[in-house]
Amino acid sequence: MALVRICPSCSLQNPADTFVCKGPGCGTSLVLIQPIMVEDSKPKTSSATEIPKTGRKCPNPECRFDANPQGQENCLRCGTLLGETCTTLGSSVPGTMREPTFGIRFPFGEVRIDGTLNIGRDPDFSPIATRIDGLDRVSRRHAEIRVTGDKLAVMDNGSMNGVLVNGRKIPSNTLCELRVGDEVSFSSQLKTIVTGVGS
């Protein structure tokens, strides 16, 4: 067994103490890649074309890293949960319906949603910007929560910190369905709860 960092670009297995991929012409940063144990007694050093990509594919449309080892829970490249992270809703569905009305409980109180609620520190983008401006790791245009038909969904707008639903990171730029009782986290200081549905 050996501890290695798998390059997200070329899939080369680098030694765990390597922070820049040694693959021919690669040079990808491995700083954010978590080391994992592999069966080989030493890390592979052959070219990337000789390493089969037989791992699990990341569901994040902006990542799609396909060399995650079997049994790995989160993507080695972006951290997205492998497997089903949310029920995806079509992004073409406009958030224009006014019934039902959903509630989201923020640390500062409950906000009713009957269309789209933008989440971020930019006051031109989000109506709650002044209430969350001092919070760590919330992007200026972090995410949006919207009513789509009779459902509520959240979408990460490609934020730096991401969006977690019930502790699982969701893919960015993808509408993910929310249910009553779900915890939606935008940062360690901004966690919300889906509180209910009304007419």
Contact 159, 175 (CB under 8 A): no
Q: Model-level pTM?
A: 0.55
CATH topology of domain 88-198: Tumour Suppressor Smad4 (2.60.200)
Tell which wins on pLDDT, 176 or 43: 176
* pLDDT tens column, 95-133: 444 455 788 999 989 998 888 999 999 999 999 999 998
Closest CA to 68 of 7, 3, 138, 154: 7
| CA 190 distance to own-chain centroid | 15
Helix residue ranges per DSSP H, the chain: 129-132
What is the spatial distance between Cα 144 and Cα 125, in angstroms, rounded to a whole number? 10
What is the spatial distance between Cα 40 and Cα 23, in angstroms, rounded to a whole number? 18
* pLDDT tens column, 50-62: 444 457 777 766 6
